[in-house]
Chain A
């Protein structure tokens, strides 16, 4: 069969179908985190035209807020509810007082502001929580592996895939099926007309920014049991999130989902065949996509013009 011909590439190791599936699943679980981070980034860019360089620091903040809640109540599920609320509110305060004065001033103003904001968040966390990081265990009910018939897979990563799917469906319903979602989509198309219709657009932007940041915070919490909690945990995430949004198309939510999974799977299979190339592979993928589709897979025209 076809996967046996792939197997020939790997000297000395027999690639069986279950191994292939395991690698694929691992890639999807890895992609789930990419999707969540890129989704918030893409939401904010697509609707507000803000390139949020502080996104990865809100990711880190989410993990810290989660560790803090866990320290108090010791319940992961409560943290799962609390983190997006707390981090989202912090994001809304940032939008209201820092970013709002910059609307209509060109794309580089909020870019520079969020870049600085990210550094400030990082230093504040270092000052308050220390540079060493906090251990963060997998919640007991989700630790260990589960037998999927063909292979064993970590329960937590399975949960990660599931919750990402739930969040995606929830977000889609919110944007497509509620009147608030309608206003958001209308506001992104034509801000002026929406304003003429008597809708306070600034409130819409506030909520959109809050939701985007809440997603980043939630992704941070979900990544914490795998990667641990430390001040610099956001740094590689920003790069990964930008790769995913660029591959998917800046501002496209559907693109962020497809590209997130695609990047996860690409990294996973590269790790299998050429482990040294694993980190590089996502950038090669990005270069390839940009050659053939300069706006990314599902990018809209004119957003950056």
Chain B
């Protein structure tokens, strides 16, 4: 068995010994997380850890997040970095698994010595990253939808949430869809945090319209075949079918619903309608489908910051445009580096203070982090997929049918989330 050995030179326990001595490690954990906090280098490159589900049903979205995150790092470095300190992106595959993500995050912090963390697509994965990051005092800017990350039980001062949350997303989509398309509502829901939080958001928004829920069906994440659920939904005769699923599941529900002629019987809506899946699925299958989004590339017509992101993306990726979730990757990194710039260092407390007060225009107009839960206050777009005949150019996929200009009234109040005020 390995025993405690001290590194003669520094007089400290070396990490290898530390890992080897299981009992010692257990004692250290019992002593509290502060003990595990490593002092991170205050010079040298600024390292940002980026766990993302590069394999699995959300891989298209994750890979675009990585592309855009790299653009944010590149632009930061081109502008001279933080007084000459360059940023560096360290990407790891979370495999869409909370345990895997926790392990990779721990490695990023302990072995790679990252200063910040970003990424973590999937509601359950980001919560696990947040827990590891918070315990070790590393700022984490999450770029995936979650309501519970705002709540006092999961929130720590190290937690930031650049992505929209289900309350605001489902709220905006619901307030658009219910009055325009009907009040009899069926839910087809991915059976995990994302799906359940979205449904809660829709029901909350539906209260003022007196919606009637006529069917609720849930399916496991990564379901291949949805056909067997459709007759039940058809039998319930809803006006609106809300599918709260994501990634490849979204494409498969839309394709299969189309095959069964569901679209002729009801309006299909998604809390988040994905650019990546629309590209993969084609105009015909997606025609008329409504959903929310944080970003559509044509925002560049109104916002200089969107144009900056799009141009950098076009230049690097054959004239393509960033996707919605890709743009989160850019904004997440942008927020962290902007915080570091304003603080003038990578010291966690300094950066937190800067991020709490800064107003920043990353990619779609001005945003800020609300003080109590570090939720990014931002606009929400409601989009509808264009029919083939109206499309002008390869990336002209959606019409923006409604824009909610953000504002704190779209969020749950700090008291409701359990924060001290």
Give A contacts to B, CB under 8 Å.
10, 12-16, 19, 22-23, 26-27, 29-30, 126, 131-133, 135, 137-138, 143-145, 152-154, 156-157, 223, 226-228, 230-233, 236, 267-268, 271-272, 275-276, 278-279
Contact = CB atoms under 8 A, between A and B. Distances in A.
Contacts of A271: 217, 228-229, 232
| Residue with the greatest number of chain A CB neighbours at <10 A, chosen from B63, B218, B224, B225 | B225
Q: Summarize A's interface: helix, strand, loop or mixed.
A: helix
A135 B218 contact: no
Given A135-B280, A231-B55, A272 B259 contact: no
Interface string B86-122: 0000000000000000000000000000000000000
A156 B235 CA distance: 22
Given A157-B259, A279-B220, 7 more contacts: A12-B214, A22-B231, A26-B227, A30-B228, A137-B282, A226-B225, A271-B228
Contacts of A232: 55-57
Given A15-B235, A132-B63, A135-B281, A267 B228 contact: yes
A144 B257 CA distance: 11
A145 B255 CA distance: 12
Contact of B225 (A12, A144, A227, A231): A227
B173 to A, nearest CB: 23
Interface of B: 54-57, 59-60, 63, 191, 214-215, 217-220, 222, 224-225, 227-232, 234-236, 248, 251-252, 255-256, 259-261, 279-282
A126 B54 CA distance: 11
Nearest to B188: A275
A290 to B, nearest CB: 24
A23 B214 CA distance: 19
User: Can you list the 8 inter-chain pairs with the closest CB atoms, starting with the nearest?
Assistant: A271-B228, A154-B259, A135-B280, A268-B228, A275-B217, A227-B224, A131-B55, A13-B235
Contact of A228 (B232, B236, B252): B252
Contacts, number: 107
A23 B235 CA distance: 11
Contact of B232 (A233, A272, A279): A272
A275 to B, nearest CB: 4
A276 B218 contact: yes
B231 A30 contact: no
14 contacts: A10-B232, A13-B215, A29-B227, A126-B55, A131-B56, A132-B60, A135-B282, A145-B260, A152-B261, A157-B259, A226-B252, A226-B259, A227-B225, A228-B255
Contact of B224 (A29, A138, A145, A236): A236
Contacts of A144: 259
B231 A230 contact: no
B325 to A, nearest CB: 13
Contacts of B248: 133, 228, 230
| Residue with the greatest number of chain A CB neighbours at <10 A, chosen from B222, B232, B251 | B232
Contacts of A228: 248, 251-252, 255, 280
| Residue with the greatest number of chain A CB neighbours at <10 A, chosen from B227, B252, B282 | B227
Contacts of A267: 228
A133 B59 contact: yes
A9 to B, nearest CB: 12
A26 B230 contact: yes
B260 A275 contact: no
B227 A157 contact: yes
A227 B252 contact: yes
Contacts of B55: 126, 131, 231-232
A145 B232 contact: no
Contacts of B230: 26
B228 A145 contact: no
Contacts of A230: 57, 59, 248
Contacts of B252: 226-228
Given A145-B261, A228-B252, A133 B220 contact: no
B97 to A, nearest CB: 12
Given A145-B260, A156-B259, A131 B232 contact: no
Contacts of B251: 135, 228
A1 to B, nearest CB: 17
Contacts of A227: 224-225, 252
Contacts of A231: 55
A142 B142 CA distance: 43
A252 B259 CA distance: 34
A133 B60 contact: yes
A271 B233 CA distance: 11
A201 B54 CA distance: 45
Contacts of A152: 260-261
A14 B235 contact: yes
Contacts of B217: 271, 275
A118 B271 CA distance: 37
B249 to A, nearest CB: 10
Nearest to A122: B55
Contacts of A233: 224
Nearest to A142: B259
Contacts of B191: 276
Contacts of A143: 259
A14 B215 CA distance: 13
| Residue with the greatest number of chain A CB neighbours at <10 A, chosen from B57, B228, B229, B280 | B228
B224 A132 contact: no
B61 to A, nearest CB: 9
Given A126-B55, A132-B59, A275-B217, A13 B224 contact: no
A299 B231 CA distance: 34
B232 A27 contact: no
B219 A272 contact: no
B227 A30 contact: yes
Nearest to B96: A232
